[in-house]
């Protein structure tokens, strides 16, 4: 009787100790996982010689150098200096297909995007490494929509409507220039436009419009241009492969823990 109770207690002890060891190992593995994975964006921004920067320089040398110069200093009559222009401007210009430009004119038209997202990332890293400048926010896509579109509407009326019209329909400016419709602009493009101020559009620094104010403006623009035909996104997709990997890891580990407990309970 006593022996039996003792035995079952030591069995329980062993099981608890086993579970504890497993938990410690899991937490350790989790911590290791997050340590080993670098934060790709900050790593790129801080390391002038990272692979992305080198590859970005190569893309620059084949597609941009003729108009913007060997050291981004600009070429007379062809293109302005890009030193200190920042990755946000590069994102805006290449994502909307304005760059690489093909012809000179009063204004670069939006064209279908020529570069791949991967090439754009690398160009952003390279040009950011040449003198810094405004950077894109961490959030992407619908994460850039603020929670207060009404405040966004008020800010839009004060800061944007004079050129873009209150419903984002665009309008003519002097000397053959125009403020385009905002219908087709993605959240990221609107944010990048505000940060970089293309052409005759002013640049809105984070002091003039805080990130929250910019997001509310985006929420407003989207509410008047989207209609209700939002296809609905996958929010996890917006977090990027790294978070997805981490989520998969956690789910997998939780499943493993569950199976272990189940097996343990059966013995
Ligand atoms: C055929 C000439 C030409 C080529 C090629 C070209 N650009 Fe431009 N770029 C221009 C001109 C002209 C402007 C100024 C007009 C404008 O801002 O719309 C400009 C403006 C820009 C700006 C905005 C600068 C600012 O002050 O806001 C960026 C960023 C830019 N280019 C990046 C690039 C990148 C990156 C490439 C290569 C993928 C490229 N350009 C290729 C002619 C060119
Ligand atoms: C002084 C006039 C002016 C003001 C004010 C202005 N913009 Fe613009 N905006 C322009 C012009 C001009 C362009 C086109 C630039 C180009 O083609 O290079 C533009 C382009 C854009 C684009 C890109 C559209 C496209 O077709 O890709 C977005 C998005 C945008 N503006 C948003 C805003 C927002 C949001 C505000 C207010 C915070 C604002 N703008 C304020 C003149 C203005």
φ and ψ at residue 235, rounded to 5 degrees: -60, -30
- Are 230 and 186 within 8 A, CB to CB? no
The residue whose C-alpha atom lies closest to atom 37 belonging to ligand 2 is 160
The residue whose C-alpha atom lies closest to atom 12 belonging to ligand 2 is 179
**Residue 119: pLDDT band with limits 50, 70, 90:** very high
pLDDT of 240 reads 43
**Residue 74: pLDDT band with limits 50, 70, 90:** very high
More confident residue, 246 or 151: 151
pLDDT of 238 reads 35
CA-based torsion, 80, 81, 82, 85: positive or negative: negative
Q: Which ligand is nearest to the CA of 191?
A: 2
pLDDT of 44 reads 46
- What is the C-alpha separation between 94 and 42, in angstroms, rounded? 21
CATH class of 39-136: mainly alpha
Most confident range, picked from 39-53, 127-141, 175-189, 242-256: 127-141
**Ligand 2 lining (C-beta closer than 6 Å):** 96, 98, 107-108, 110, 159-160, 162-164, 173, 177, 179-180, 182, 185, 189-190, 193-194, 198-202, 204, 217
pLDDT of 181 reads 84
Is 137-228 a domain of CATH 1.10.3720.10? no
What are the start and end residues of each CATH 1.10.760.10 domain in the chain? 39-136, 137-228
Q: Report whether pLDDT(11) > 80.
A: no
pLDDT of 237 reads 32
Cα–chain center distance at 227:
24
Tell me, in angstroms, the distance from the centre of ligand 1 to residue 100's CA.
6
Q: Which ligand is nearest to the CA of 59?
A: 1
Q: Report whether pLDDT(128) > 90.
A: yes
**Position in ligand 2 atom list of the atom nearest CA 159:** 37
Q: Which ligand is nearest to the CA of 111?
A: 2
Q: How many other C-beta atoms can be found within 10 angstroms of the C-beta atom of residue 169? A: 14
Query: For 158-162, which contacts have Cβ atoms below 8 Å and span 24 or more sequence positions?
Result: 159/204, 159/209, 159/217, 160/217
């Amino acid at each position: 009787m006593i022996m039996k109770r003792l035995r079952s207690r030591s069995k329980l002890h062993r099981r608890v100790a086993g579970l504890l060891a497993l938990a410690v190992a899991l937490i350790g593995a989790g911590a290791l996982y997050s340590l080993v994975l670098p934060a790709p964006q900050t790593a790129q921004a801080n390391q002038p010689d990272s692979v992305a920067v080198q590859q970005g320089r190569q893309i620059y040398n084949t597609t941009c150098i003729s108009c913007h110069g060997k050291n981004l200093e600009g070429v007379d009559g062809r293109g302005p200096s890009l030193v200190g222009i920042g990755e946000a401007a590069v994102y805006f210009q290449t994502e909307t297909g304005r760059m690489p430009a093909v012809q000179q004119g009063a204004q670069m038209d939006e064209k279908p995007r020529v570069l791949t997202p991967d090439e754009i990332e690398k160009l952003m890293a390279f040009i950011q490494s040449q003198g810094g400048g405004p950077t894109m926010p961490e959030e992407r896509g619908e994460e850039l929509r603020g929670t207060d579109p009404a405040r966004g509407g008020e800010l839009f009326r004060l800061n944007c409507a004079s050129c873009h019209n209150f419903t984002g329909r665009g309008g003519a400016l002097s000397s053959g220039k125009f403020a385009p419709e905002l219908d087709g602009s993605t959240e990221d493009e609107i944010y990048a436009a505000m940060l970089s101020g293309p052409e005759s559009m002013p640049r809105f620094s984070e002091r003039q419009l805080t990130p929250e104010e910019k997001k509310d403006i985006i929420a407003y623009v989207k509410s008047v241009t989207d209609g209700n035909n939002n296809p609905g996104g996958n929010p996890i997709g917006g977090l990027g492969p790294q978070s997805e990997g981490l989520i998969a890891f956690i789910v997998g580990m939780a499943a493993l823990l569950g199976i272990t407990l189940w097996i343990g309970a059966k013995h």
